[in-house]
């Protein structure tokens, strides 16, 4: 008599699951170094053992497939073990931005309804005032980074992977479209949306990493993107799957980055644009030795071409990759690679391997000819499952069988994509449309400008006034007239800023994106102050 397969046997023999990537690398390279955090080092076999014990501990405490579990922490090894353990049993990770305020944390927790909430010890005081409002959370756990924390009624997550726990693989039924992660968008225009990324999303992107990212076995990578960001998770998992060593930083620190890179002969950097913008401002930048670097990945937001060109001159043999993407793309959409920076410096590159990208007239939902400006749309196995508990927003985003990004672009005959602006950031001034990104890229060419952002501010004459916010380079002094004259001589008159403000730093999220909603509020305040003092704004 033929024996019938168990549901697990039928599932595991050909399944697509994030946890299986670690299993396979641990089998291939058991003794190679996988993860380093502070003084703790893990081989691939040791990391897989810790993750399996964690999976057992999670199951023992009652967490099951489909349960949501939230994590609030800086980058650390315990974060990695926890979220990989959750994924191995089919639970869903809900990582939170550690900079969120109490009301924002409360909203995300109550919307995602996790059964457990794991919090870094340092951040527990921020959570205690709202603890009783988090109705679905049955277990509170703490990530003990200080080494001496002890919280009554809170479990130490290290108890999840005790030495006596079994190291066998958990028998979980996991399918390609099972959610692995719910990541909440910034919510600058409305309430945050929960983007659901699946095991298939991650698996697809990881398999393309060897092609597009130039990762190889034995690479040593260090990144400064927090693990609550989908890019950090993707790039970390990609490194593990390929057999690279991941050096983990609690929080980015330029001095530590330089030291780590030189001491460990780091070959791969993964950083938001802020690092690439700020390091060249160091007085000893030209003397810094980064010769071990083979791949420099720029992720989180677009990096000005002038900045990339300076880095390419410093590291002529390194591969540079400037990524465009969204959380909804899990998160990679397009990439401009080393050989294309010279011919297409203003492009965001061509489509990432798992995606099909087109430019649409979003009103009539039809494709536009090459060269015309419209909305970027995408489809493929890297696209999110949808927005958590929001069928209406999911249907709007996926109308016509394409994911509508909200980004305005054009595509040339060779498939290179040129970012014009976020639809919401296009400045409508005097009957003309101005790309804030285009003006920003130009401002970076000024020799005294370290950082710049451009926004539209309400104006009774122009509808919106082009407004520049500038961070001068250290030791430099600039005034409004100098910036305006610089622009007048090089760009169309309607693109020239009508207001110019100077600040010490631009507000950015950890992935490097400028928080333009905060800038608008600050500029509105300054314009009102100027009007009260002089009867007009800054000209």
Q: Give the DSSP letter string of 308-328.
A: HHHHHHH-TTSEEEEEEE-GG
pLDDT tens-digit profile of 277-303?
889 989 999 999 999 999 999 987 778
Cα distance between residue 274 and residue 136, in whole Å: 37
Q: β-strand 268-271 against 220-223: which pairing, if any?
A: parallel
Residue 184: CB partners within 8 Å, gap ≥ 6? 94, 96, 97, 108, 112, 192, 193, 194, 195
CA distances from 43 to 28, 40, 49, 101, 236 (A): 12, 10, 10, 36, 15
Cα 384 to Cα 390: distance, rounded to the nearest angstrom: 13
CB neighbour list of residue 10: distance below 8 Å, 6 or more residues apart: none
The residue assigned the tokens 């059964």 is: 115
Q: Where are the domains of the chain?
A: 41-199, 252-423, 428-534
Give the CATH class of 41-199. alpha beta
Annotate 489-536 with three-state secondary structure.
CCCCHHHCCCEEEECCCCCECCCCCECHHHHHHHHHHHHHHHHHHHCC
- Taking Cα atoms as reference points, which of 189, 116, 181 lies closest to residue 155? 116
Single out the residue of 419, 423, 535, 537 nearest to residue 484, CA to CA.
537
HEC string for 210-260: HHHCCCCCCCEEEECCCCCCHHHHHHHHHHHHHCCEEEECCCCCHHHHHHH
Return the CA Rg of the chain: 24
The listed CATH number (3.30.300.30, 2.102.10.10, 3.50.30.50, 3.40.50.720) that belongs to domain 428-534: 3.30.300.30
The closest of 393, 392, 388, 385 to 197, measured between CA atoms, is: 385
CA dist 92 and 82 (Å) reads: 11
Output the six-digit token pair for 452. 């710049």
Interior angle at CA 117, CA 194 and CA 20, nearest 5: 70
Q: Do domains 252-423 and 428-534 have the same CATH topology?
A: no
Number of H helices and number of E strands within the chain?
A: 15, 27
pLDDT tens digits, one per residue of 331-380: 889 999 888 988 998 899 999 888 999 999 988 889 999 999 999 999 99
What stretches of 115-176 show up as alpha helix (H) in DSSP?
A: 124-127
How many other CB atoms are found less than 10 A from the CB of residue 451? 25
β 432-434/68-72 pair status: unpaired
Do residues 260 and 233 touch, judged by C-beta distance below 8 A? no
Q: Residue 374: CA atoms inside 13 Å, Cβ hemisphere, count?
A: 22
In 3D space, the residue among 72, 70, 139, 142 whose CA is nearest the CA of residue 109 turns out to be 70
- The pTM for the full model equals 0.85
> What is the pLDDT, as a whole number, of residue 61?
95
Identify the CATH class of 252-423: alpha beta
Cis (ω within 30 of 0) for the bond into 331? yes
Q: Which residues in the chain land under pLDDT 70?
A: 1, 148-150, 186-190, 510-511, 531-539
User: 391: how many CB neighbours lie within 10 A of its CB?
Assistant: 9
Using alpha carbons, list the distances in angstroms from residue 301 to 20, 314, 320, 343, 403: 31, 22, 15, 21, 19
Closest CA to 214 of 267, 258, 263, 260: 267
Beta-carbon neighbour count of residue 282 at 10 Å?
A: 14
Burial bucket for residue 69 (CB in 10 Å: 0-12, 13-18, 19+): buried
Q: 3-state class of 120 per DSSP?
A: strand
CB 61, CB 103: distance < 8 Å: no
Whether 352 and 212 have beta carbons less than 8 Å apart is answered as yes
Instruction: Round to whole Å and give the CA distance between 266 and 292.
Output: 6
Other Cβ atoms within 10 Å of 275 Cβ, number: 19
Tokens of 250: 């609690």
* Residue among 304, 338, 345 nearest 321 (CA): 338
């Amino acid at each position: 008599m033929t024996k019938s397969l168990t549901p697990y046997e039928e599932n595991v023999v050909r399944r697509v699951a994030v946890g299986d990537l670690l299993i396979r690398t641990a089998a291939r390279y058991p003794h190679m170094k996988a993860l380093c955090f502070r003084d703790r080092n893990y081989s691939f076999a040791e990391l897989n053992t810790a993750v399996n014990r964690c999976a057992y501990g999670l199951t023992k405490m009652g967490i099951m497939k489909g349960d949501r579990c939230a994590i609030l922490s800086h980058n650390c090894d315990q974060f990695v073990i926890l979220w990989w353990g959750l994924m191995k049993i089919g639970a869903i990770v809900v990582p939170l931005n550690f900079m969120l305020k109490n009301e924002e944390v409360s909203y995300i927790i109550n919307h995602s309804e996790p059964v457990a909430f794991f919090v870094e010890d340092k951040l527990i005081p921020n959570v205690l005032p709202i603890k009783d409002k988090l109705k679905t959370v049955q277990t509170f756990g703490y990530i003990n980074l200080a080494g001496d924390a002890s919280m009554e009624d809170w479990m130490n997550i290290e108890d999840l992977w005790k030495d006596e726990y079994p190291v066998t693989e958990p028998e979980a039924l996991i399918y390609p479209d099972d959610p692995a992660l719910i990541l909440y968008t910034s919510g600058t225009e409305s309430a945050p949306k929960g983007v659901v990324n699946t095991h298939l999303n991650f698996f697809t992107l990881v398999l393309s990493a060897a092609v597009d990212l130039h990762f190889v076995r034995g690479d040593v990578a260090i990144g400064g993107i927090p693990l609550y960001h989908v890019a950090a998770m993707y790039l970390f998992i990609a490194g593990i799957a390929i057999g690279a060593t991941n050096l983990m930083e609690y929080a980015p620190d330029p001095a530590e980055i330089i030291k780590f890179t030189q001491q460990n002969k780091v070959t791969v950097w993964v950083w938001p644009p802020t690092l690439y913008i700020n390091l060249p401002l160091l007085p000893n930048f030209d003397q810094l030795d980064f010769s071990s670097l083979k791949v420099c990945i720029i992720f989180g937001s677009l990096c000005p071409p002038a900045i990339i060109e300076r880095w390419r001159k410093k590291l002529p043999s390194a591969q540079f990759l400037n990524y465009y993407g969204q959380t909804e793309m899990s998160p990679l959409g397009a990439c401009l690679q080393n050989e294309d920076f010279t011919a297409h410096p203003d492009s965001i590159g061509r489509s990432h391997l798992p995606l099909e990208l087109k430019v649409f007239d979003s009103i009539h939902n039809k494709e536009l000819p090459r060269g015309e400006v419209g909305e970027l749309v995408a489809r493929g196995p890297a696209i999110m499952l949808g927005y958590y508990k929001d069928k209406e927003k999911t249907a709007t985003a996926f109308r016509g069988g394409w994911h509508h990004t909200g980004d305005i672009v054009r595509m040339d005959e060779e498939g290179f994509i040129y970012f014009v602006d976020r639809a919401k950031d296009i400045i409508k001034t005097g009957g003309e449309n101005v790309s804030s990104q285009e003006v920003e890229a130009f401002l970076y060419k000024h020799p005294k400008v370290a950082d710049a952002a451009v926004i539209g501010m309400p104006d009774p004459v122009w509808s919106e006034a082009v407004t520049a916010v500038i961070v001068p380079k250290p030791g430099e002094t600039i005034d409004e007239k100098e910036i305006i004259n610089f622009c007048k001589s090089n760009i169309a008159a309607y693109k020239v800023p009508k207001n110019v403000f100077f600040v010490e730093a631009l507000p950015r999220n950890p992935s490097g994106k400028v928080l333009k909603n905060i800038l608008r509020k600050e500029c509105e305040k300054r314009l009102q102050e100027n009007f009260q003092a002089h009867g007009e704004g800054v000209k």
